[in-house]
Amino acid sequence: MPKLHVFNQVTLDGYFAGPNGDLSWAHKQDPEWDEFVAGNASGGGTLLFGRVTYEMMAAFWPTPEAAKAFPAVAEGMNKAQKVVFSRTLDKVSWKNTRLVKDGMAAEVRKMKSQPGKDMTILGSGKIISQLASEGLIDEYSIVVNPIALGKGRTMFEGVKAPVNLKRTSTREFKNGNILTVYSA
């Protein structure tokens, strides 16, 4: 059965998005990092988003600029099956995207009970905190960037109880990023 993963970058002070949703701090390219990101993008699983992350991703990845700057990532993002959880969106237009307006936890339970590939949440802090509280996330891949912002948003705002995790692996990158993977 499919597992549910989180993949997010955070700052040293724990923010996955800076003030006003700024993510510019998370884009430190180098060949090793670019190869890692491109490999992740070709994983072939289903991507899960909340509205804010979906709108940001859908505005960039289908564009010629994305295809030119990040060809492997753009191809993976555009080919992937995507699910957006939003009560406010009326429709989605990005290729291979399905909108779920209500019953997020029930829908994720259903998706996890059916045969298929793993699912990954990108960004989407509100989705993460809700699904973490429900015990539905199997693994967290957190990339710590060597920068402190002083303010922003954390992935776990609003969790109802502590989320106890076990570290399963760590990888350092030449650009200073450190990936730590935790299982629930």
CB atoms within 10 A of CB 107: 16
Which element (helix H / strand E) includes 71? helix 71-79
Task: Please check the confidence at residue 37 and state whether its pLDDT lies above 80.
Answer: no
- pLDDT of 153 > 70? The answer is yes
**Each residue's pLDDT tens digit, 88-127:** 999 999 999 999 999 999 999 999 999 999 999 998 888 9
CB 100 within 8 A of CB 85: yes
pLDDT computed for residue 178 by the predictor: 94
Q: Which two tokens stand for residue 18?
A: 């800076």
Residue 73 near residue 38, CB atoms below 8 Å: yes
pTM, to two decimals: 0.91
Model confidence pLDDT, tens digit, residues 6-23 = 999 999 999 999 888 888
CATH of the domain at 123: 3.40.430.10
| Structural domain containing residue 179 | 4-183
- Number of domains composing the chain: 1
pLDDT tens for 124-141 read 888 999 999 999 999 999
